Copies of this chain bind each other. A is one copy, B any other.
Amino acid sequence: MELTVYLAGEIHSDWREQLKSKAEARKLPLKFIAPQTNHDRSDDIGEEILGAQPGPYYKDDAASDINNFRTQIMLQKADVVIALFGEKYRQWNTAMDASAAISMGKPTIIIRPESLIHPLKELSNKANVTVETVDQAIEVLKYVYD
């Protein structure tokens, strides 16, 4: 049983690479897909494709058209969603993706540090499993195959 796993969330650390190599080390039949993790590319993609916009609001709206197009495809293809929250930033995209995934019935894991227990309590409660580390997330995935 091969599963496609969408990795939502933080794009300023290498957690996706860690997760992939741990999955490979355990020979889990997982295929990973992800949002654009190059932050500048993700911010600029609207103007890159649609041309210069008349200001930052319009630049942002053009970029999010294309980022949302990408995310919608990937959430629909995913069998499982993992969303990682880091300690910095507001990460409303991550919350949006996790909530959309749960609403679509996708089995969902949240990874967040202990410091975020309180502000994420309702979202954690709606997700299937909440863990603190990438290692724990990989153990949950591994358990599916045990």
Contact = CB atoms under 8 A, between A and B. Distances in A.
Q: How large is the interface on A (under 10, 10 to 19, 20 to 34, 35 or more residues)?
A: 35 or more
A65 B97 CA distance: 20
A143 B70 contact: yes
A50 interface: yes
A109 to B, nearest CB: 7
Copies in the complex: 8
A117 B57 contact: yes
Interface in A10-63: 31, 33, 36, 38, 41, 45, 48-50, 54-58, 60-61, 63
Nearest 6 pairs of A and B residues by beta carbon? A103-B103, A54-B54, A99-B99, A64-B125, A95-B95, A69-B128
Interface of A: 1, 3-4, 31, 33, 36, 38, 41, 45, 48-50, 54-58, 60-61, 63-74, 76-77, 79-80, 89-93, 95-100, 102-105, 107, 109, 117-126, 128-131, 136, 139-140, 143-144, 146
